Amino acid sequence: MNTWILEKEGFSPADAAADGNRFLCANGYLGLRGVPEEAGPALFPAVTLAGVYDQFEEKWREPVNAPHGLRLQLTMNGRALSLEETAPLRHKTMLDYRYGIYHRDTDFGPARILSSRFTSLADPHLMADQYRVEFQKSGLVSLRVGISTDIWDINGPHLFGFRHHAEEILLTEATTGQKGIRVAVAQGMEISPRVEESISVEPDGLYRTLVAEVFPGDIWTLSVYASVYTSLDHPSPAAQARASIQRAMRVGYLELLQAHQAAWDQVWQASEIQLEGDEAAAQALHASQYHLNCIAPRHAGNMSIPARGLSGQTYKGAIFWDSEMFFFPMFVYTQPEVAQSLLRYRIETLPGARKKAAEYGYRGAFYAWESQEGGEEGCTNFNVVDVFTHRPVRTYFRDKQIHISGDIAYALRSYYDITGDRSLLEEGGAEVILECARFYLSRASLHADREEADFADVIGPDEYHERVTNNAYTNQIILHCLQSALALADIFADRPAWFQGLLLQIKYEKDWPLLENICRRLPAPREREGVIEQFDGYFALEDCTLEEVRSRLRDPREYWGGDHGVAGVTQIIKQADVIAMMALFPGLYTDAQVAANWAYYEPRTEHGSSLSACMYALAACRVGRLEEAWQLFQKTAEIDVLGGGKQWAGEIYIGGTHPASNGGAWMIAALGFAGLRMRGGQLTLQPHLPSQVKRLSFPVTAAGRRYRVEVTQEGGTITEI
Ligand code: BGC
């Protein structure tokens, strides 16, 4: 088995949504869904742009899909040789994870189409497709190669005022409705042998049509290049896109491919985990690392990654806590510059977080639950649609999921602890931590009649229980945020002038005694027989099985949480909550505590989010439940190989790739199986290798040095390289 290749035989329109995700090509700037070149909107083709958002009328804001510059449609003797219209004799799709190359091989009978395409990692605006047609019958052929404006959107349309320029390089420009962002797509093409062509503007885009009589044995080879720029990248996106195609045509497909491959080689050199002992797991790990690496915003330095990556517009293309808790660990240990980018996004969106806090009547920084550009909150008050009434359901994710600010502070602190680099804190990270701490100060409930301070009316990671008090995870992440704010005084003990200024600005003298006071007064997690109560009153809820709760559903798409959800009145939880806390703060809990809580909560967890399994796996490694850890690892790592995961929340489509699971797979292998940890400036290992794994080997970067970690059943080593 080649663990770098994903292959699929056959074609079914019913699989198109999942395949578009599984065979995704992306480069951090854009994502090209893994559907064949001829695909029309019914097969969900899309070129999703990172960080470009738009709202159409009253629908949800979401990222913009650009016109599709690699659309090719073949017709022979009047018959469309398209998977949507003609059943092929044979069809195979492949994705090469090492280089992010999508291959298809389709035999329609009269002609066979073989193509290879990639979204360049060396030039993130560029996509290239080498498309070859082998004719097996004679006939009249017409091939449309162009820029399709027949765009599939979930909540669109987003682009208006299309302008087409039909020159040797095709160019289409359009403008987003809400903010007037200009999007330009240019396309160029080379074909051998030369074929007569005409260019025309058509209702669905700008096309070049190649027409010729062909005979058995004739072969057409096309290299097609498309480039996308927006006015967020450059004041003249059209000129840039055109120039990029001129350059691509000068150097040619092979040279572009080599540059792209060289860029991927570097990524793998920095991050590849090699797993020996189980080939399917090794493949799933490559898949996970590919899917996370291919959406890293390497081009930007100040962008983060949406919860469904660049696989489409699901989840509004928004940035969640997934970034800090699930994507960040792989990047900080392998490509710290990407980790910096994720955190810089938070630093730069601090004004948005301050605005949100002020709107709710708080001080400091309350980060958006679903953050879009500028830190704007994308989460609506009605974030789920009821399957029975088709009415929006009032949800409280945006109002009450206050752990997001602490999650960001946690990642900023980890960045410093792991890299030893203060620069990000200096750039604004310290201010973010202080502002998050100030938010919690103003959010705490202080009681005159008792010593303890509460955090009431919150939602923890388990979103099925809304508006609870003292969610253990939330309280712990808040405490850590407050402690990190206090620790800044030690980190900057040399008192640089900017730090002094910052303390003055936030009126440190006034707030700090309060902050210390709240740290002292936060209640210790409440326990029963060693099990931490997820929130006040959780143990009093109905204690029934997952199957029982599932049997109460009247529609498989029904939302389990909220006012009328089946889980809310029970102890069944959506995802790791207490266990997430234990996985993220391993030093705070004994093995016996982790074991008791794992045994209690795992059977009560639906794993209804792709963020759940990895946290349970990390804790399972710790307490020696290695068979379970292995199964949870497989579930996490295989999610995008199998095209699995939940597709619906109520009536809302939530399909796409699963970057949190992708990051989770790295976390389980490196932090769980190898037991990698940074303690007091030193990397340490505590291997918990399941019997299925013979050897794990991977590179790590910490404190500015590079290491190789090797783990076998006999033990582990860390060697500087
Ligand atoms: C989960 C959240 C997560 C979001 C995006 C939701 O289903 O409950 O924890 O941040 O998906 O992945």
Please state, in angstroms and rounded to a whole number, the distance separating the CA atoms of residues 30 and 19: 17
Neighbours of 579 (CB within 10 A): 28
DSSP letter assigned to residue 62: E
The pLDDT value given to residue 506: 81
Residue 619 CA to ligand 1 centre (angstroms): 20
Phi-psi region of 277 (alpha: psi -120 to 50; beta: other; left: phi over 0): left
Amino acid at 502: L
Give the atom of ligand 1 at the shortest distance from the alpha carbon of 575. 8
Q: Is the CB of 322 under 6 A from ligand 1?
A: yes
DSSP letter assigned to residue 429: I
CA nearest ligand 1 atom 11, residue = 609
**CATH architecture of structural domain 321-524:** Alpha/alpha barrel (1.50)
Compute the radius of gyration of the chain from its Cα atoms: 26
The pLDDT value given to residue 515: 87
Tell me which residue of 170, 302, 292 sits closest to 241, measured CA to CA. 170
Residue 315 CA to ligand 1 centre (angstroms): 9
Please state, in angstroms and rounded to a whole number, the distance separating the CA atoms of residues 288 and 665: 7
CA nearest ligand 1 atom 9, residue = 461
Q: Is the CB of 611 under 6 A from ligand 1?
A: yes
Give the atom of ligand 1 at the shortest distance from the alpha carbon of 608. 7
Residue 609 CA to ligand 1 centre (angstroms): 6
Please state, in angstroms and rounded to a whole number, the distance separating the CA atoms of residues 289 and 66: 26
- CATH superfamily for 5-269 is Glycoside hydrolase, family 65, N-terminal domain (2.70.98.40)
Mutate which of 304, 320, 662 for ligand 1? The one with the most ligand atoms within 8 Å of its CB, which is 320
Q: Is the CB of 307 under 6 A from ligand 1?
A: yes
Tell me which residue of 150, 73, 138, 72 sits closest to 110, measured CA to CA. 138
Q: Is the CB of 690 under 6 A from ligand 1?
A: no
What does the pLDDT look like over 45-91, one tens digit per residue? 999 999 999 999 999 999 999 999 999 999 999 999 999 999 999 99
Residue 422 CA to ligand 1 centre (angstroms): 30
Q: Is the CB of 320 under 6 A from ligand 1?
A: yes
**Which pair of tokens denotes residue 104?**
């298809």
Q: Is the CB of 640 under 6 A from ligand 1?
A: no
Beta bridge partners of 225: 128, 188
The pLDDT value given to residue 446: 87
Residue 4 CA to ligand 1 centre (angstroms): 28
Q: What is the pTM of this model?
A: 0.97
Under 8 Å between Cβ of 82 and 67: no
CA nearest ligand 1 atom 7, residue = 609
Q: Is the CB of 660 under 6 A from ligand 1?
A: yes
The pLDDT value given to residue 650: 67
The pLDDT value given to residue 509: 80
Q: Is the CB of 463 under 6 A from ligand 1?
A: yes
Please state, in angstroms and rounded to a whole number, the distance separating the CA atoms of residues 720 and 682: 12
Q: Is the CB of 656 under 6 A from ligand 1?
A: no
Residue 307 CA to ligand 1 centre (angstroms): 8
Taking 50 as the pLDDT cut, the residues of the chain under it are: none
Mutate which of 609, 646, 653, 658 for ligand 1? The one with the most ligand atoms within 8 Å of its CB, which is 609
The pLDDT value given to residue 297: 98
Give the residue numbers marked as catalytic: 463
* Residue ranges of domains in the chain: 5-269, 321-524
Residue 210 CA to ligand 1 centre (angstroms): 47
Please state, in angstroms and rounded to a whole number, the distance separating the CA atoms of residues 278 and 419: 32
